[in-house]
Structure 1
Amino acid sequence: MSEQSYDNQTIEQICQMAKNDLESSLSPAIFNTWILPSPLTKIRIIDELKAEATINCMTAFHATNLKSNLYLPIKTALEKYVNKSLEINFIVGENKRAVKKDGGFIKTDQRFDQEKKQNLKDNNRFKENSAEPGLLSPTVDELFSYSNIKNNTVDRYLLRAKQIGLKSDFTFKNFAVDPSNQMAHAAATKVASSLGSSYNPLFLYGGVGVGKTHLMHAIANYVLKNEPDTNIVFCTGEEFTNEIIRSIQNKNSAQFRNKYRRAELLLLDDIQFIAGKKSVQEEFFHTFNALTANNSQVVLTSDLPPHEISLLEDRIRSRFEAGLMIDIQQPTLELRTAIFLLKAQSNHINIPNHLAQRIAAQVDSARRIEGIIKKIRSAVELQGAEISIELIDLILKKEIRQNHQKTLRVKPQDIIQSVSNHFHLKQSAIKGGRRNKELVRARHIAMFLLRQELNSSLEEIGQWFGGRDHTSVIHAVKKIEKELLVDEGIAQDVSALKMSLVAISR
């Protein structure tokens, strides 16, 4: 194809959007000194996958520093809007030559004088606005000091994490481990430290809020910090599907394949979404084969194991089953408490253990725990509330009501039937008057679930159980609330029953 270049208006728009991204990820001193006075002046299209960008610099020192220390953040920011792989040339104004990434020089065009005036104007404006401490231009020694290089490395990591779509706070360090997820954690850390050499693919499955996505992000964050040049691609099954559809519509399948098949680490969350979509499964199958043939690592998550994903092609299912599949169980009460305390600490919330346990007893997934923490933080910071048992109970009451208004579509009879099935007891026995220990436990749990899940009145609940009065129902509900805090068996029973009710309501 003949050489093409972007028009000036498009270049200015791309430059401004990229600068906005860089400003949010770099320190003010670095951004104002090195990025602000360095305009993007040209983008030349090489082919459908590659382009060459030219950035104007005021001095050779300026160009050398951008090339040596800021090349990757600039390249990442520009590629986001150009949608091509970029080679960047840094124009040196004083001698009208450009420093290329490999250290050589090329001639520039003749528009430098006008651009230099604008650069000087931008730089003077920066100096006028930099009088306050902390915003002055750094000296050469300051620029290349250990602390500045370290800060710049952090800036670069956060920028790349943002571009990839990672949650930088989802790390191995703040992932709480117990027997329910110990194997998944061990496999994830092994994969992160030796991509493609073991457990490929790694397939994590389990219910909502068990930590699948956290471990997936933790793998990517570990690799990004320790091997920052690794080509990492993260997406959900829905995003993968939508990208394929767009690439077909826009007739740029080559660009899609270039993105995914060159990945060294592909992380695909909720892979079950591609089931039943023939063209998507076809593309994924060939992408998967290309990656594993190159010893690239593939990490997948799903709500279900491969053999339970309906409409998933057998050839894809067999690829998944050839790797390591791990079922992550629902977190225990102790684990949920630990998760809450870890997430509270990262949000600078100091909460006593007994209140954390009270919350964990009522909230059965890590995802909902995050929502509770946000509500607590909002109440403390915006309303001036103190963390107390009254505040926690108020937040829990609202959370439980809102959550089940959204998700639970069951009748009282469904709850009683679920309790009957779970404990292998007859419904008539649970509703009746016999008081052996096993029956009383099941009866109390059924009353508790009717109250918590459906917000049934005390009188209504009493009628379902042989016309018991409201004081008997109150006693049953409060007894289960207390036992949830100290009896892991009760907590597991209630958690399992809640999951079965969610399944019924779908």
Structure 2
Amino acid sequence: MSRTAQSVWNNCLKFIQDNIQPQAYKTWFEPIVAVKLTDNALSIQVPSKFFYEWLEEHYVKILKVALTKELGESAKLVYIIKMENTYGNKQPFTEKIPSSNRSAVKSQDVDIPLNNKSPELRNPFVIPGIRNVKIESQLNPNYSFDNFLEGDSNRLARSAGLAVANKPGGTSFNPLLIFGGVGLGKTHLAHAIGVDIKDKYPEKTVLYISAEKFTQQYIDAIKKNNRNDFIHFYQIIDVLIIDDVQFLSGKSGTQDVFFHIFNHLHQNGKQVVLTSDKAPVDMQDIEQRLLSRFKWGLSAELQTPDFETRVSILKNKLYRDGVEMPEEIIDYVAKNIKTNVRELEGAIISLIAQSSFNKKEITIDLARVIVEKFVKNTKREVSIDYIQKVVSDYFQMDIDTLQSKTRKRHIVQARQLAMFFAKKFTKASLASIGSQIGKRDHATVLHACKTVDNLSSTDKQFRKYVEDITKKLSV
């Protein structure tokens, strides 16, 4: 019985299907068409060059085994890549591509027609760290949903992230903007979304990049006169993740180009994920047309984790590192480092290191020494949100009251004190302070600071307020 290309390929597929995941088989092998069989060379048609490269990188071994079983040790595999030309007419051409040195499936070179171009593959703007044609995601696989522990402080953001990862571009969370203070897990969650999408949809092009690097790339593109190539590159991304988008503040050119890229991606059902240290309403020097688009999807806040969540984070970290630690020590660290997950894990790492390097038993006294160092080193990194909480708690009112428009004397004084300490303990501009404390302007903040200075020198009771709150913020 004479064998055909289809019969040989069908036998290969049976073997492959038994040895890989169903989703991977459906994605990477069902679209392949067997074209011809010549001696010991099987020609198959694949949809794109990217598709071919993915097969060579991830499935070359199983292809070799399957083909060798059918055609013997001298088996060859020839790829026919079906591309679309510039005018949108489908025009297949054959490319016999040499496999890499590690590949045992070999073939020969032929010329490729020059008039065939594919916008799907063309990547004229070669970004440092990202190879031409095959776009590396720049994701950190260590940041996953599995080690991003859920608590009241992050439940909305984490759930939205999972929804986006399950159906990128197909939910109402587009864009998804994750915002919150330093060390609360924004970058971790952004990577986790990308990693999960790559796992579920390996054919999608996912790219993680910081707003700072995006800006630098745009500047380089302007210098080299290839702005359009820059835009084209970003418009072929399926899932674009931009970290620290507040860095675009004041950069009108970068904001303009991002506006066009965002519109194209959004209109074509692509997913955009953004992170920021503040909500859109509090962003300064970002164009309104861009801010309005940030609000199209969902803005989800990562808040300071509560005690139970902090304990869970520590226990999870210890479990992953294979270390046991007494409950009382875990509780002590969790009670004393409250504002930052990064510092929380850092304290535990330091505790383990001190114990193992210096052969010391992990005790409460050792924990106290480590925690004091962390608190001392980070006490100046006080956020405006934290200052408002401390001031409102001190005067026994909620933050909404503190930020309200009321002119009641004790509330006005509390608000002025919050502005005064925000200027003293943070690097935020007067405009940013005013925006975050009741949407006031910079002149109001300046007046508040002068009022606090004056009252501190003339009013004994008011001076006590300043001293008490200073102590609380300096702990």
TM-score, normalising length: structure 2: 0.55
1:170 and 2:143 matched: yes
TM-superposed deviation, 1:329:
1.9
- Map of 1:248 onto structure 2: 222
- Map of 1:203 onto structure 2: 177
TM-superposed deviation, 1:255:
3.8
What whole-Å deviation, never above 9, does each CA across 1:260-306 have from its counterpart, x for those lacking one? 21111111111111011110100110010010011000111111111
1:423 and 2:394 matched: yes
- Map of 1:126 onto structure 2: none
- Map of 1:182 onto structure 2: 155
What whole-Å deviation, never above 9, does each CA across 1:81-103 have from its counterpart, x for those lacking one? xxxxxxxxxxxxx99x9944649
Q: Distance in 2 between matches of 1:281 and 1:390?
A: 51
| 8 Å Cα contact 1:237-1:274 kept in structure 2 | yes
- Map of 2:342 onto structure 1: 367
TM-superposed deviation, 1:360:
1.4
5+ residue gaps, structure 1: 1-58, 62-66, 77-93, 109-118, 124-136, 139-161, 410-414, 426-452, 454-465, 467-493
Paired residue secondary structure (1:267): strand
Q: Distance in 2 between matches of 1:395 and 1:182?
A: 30
Alignment of 1:108-257 (within 5 A): 163-198=136-171, 199-257=173-231
Q: Distance in 1 between matches of 2:186 and 2:97?
A: 52
Q: Residues 346 and 418 (structure 1 numbering): CA distance in 2 closer, same or farther, change over 3 Å?
A: closer
TM-superposed deviation, 1:178:
1.9
- Map of 1:155 onto structure 2: none
Identity %: 31
1:72 and 2:54 matched: yes
Q: Residues 106 and 276 (structure 1 numbering): CA distance in 2 closer, same or farther, change over 3 Å?
A: same
| Counterpart residue identity of residue 371, structure 1 | G
- Map of 2:67 onto structure 1: none
Alignment of 1:68-107 (within 5 A): 71-72=53-54, 99-100=78-79, 102=81, 106=96
Q: Distance in 2 between matches of 1:284 and 1:417?
A: 33
TM-superposed deviation, 1:381:
4.5
Q: Which of 330, 339, 356 in structure 2 is aligned with 1:356? A: 330
Paired residue secondary structure (1:209): coil
| Counterpart residue identity of residue 194, structure 1 | K
Q: Distance in 2 between matches of 1:230 and 1:68?
A: 11
| Counterpart residue identity of residue 296, structure 2 | A
Paired residue secondary structure (1:173): coil
Q: Distance in 2 between matches of 1:263 and 1:253?
A: 17
Q: Residues 72 and 352 (structure 1 numbering): CA distance in 2 closer, same or farther, change over 3 Å?
A: farther
Alignment of 1:103-502 (within 5 A): 106=96, 163-198=136-171, 199-363=173-337, 364-404=339-379, 407=381, 422-424=393-395, 498=473
Q: Distance in 1 between matches of 2:294 and 2:145?
A: 24
Q: Residues 258 and 379 (structure 1 numbering): CA distance in 2 closer, same or farther, change over 3 Å?
A: farther
TM-superposed deviation, 1:224:
1.3
| 8 Å Cα contact 1:98-1:105 kept in structure 2 | no
| Counterpart residue identity of residue 182, structure 1 | R
| Counterpart residue identity of residue 377, structure 2 | Q
More helix by share: 1
Paired residue secondary structure (2:318): helix
| Counterpart residue identity of residue 341, structure 2 | A
Q: Distance in 2 between matches of 1:74 and 1:248?
A: 36
TM-score, normalising length: structure 1: 0.51
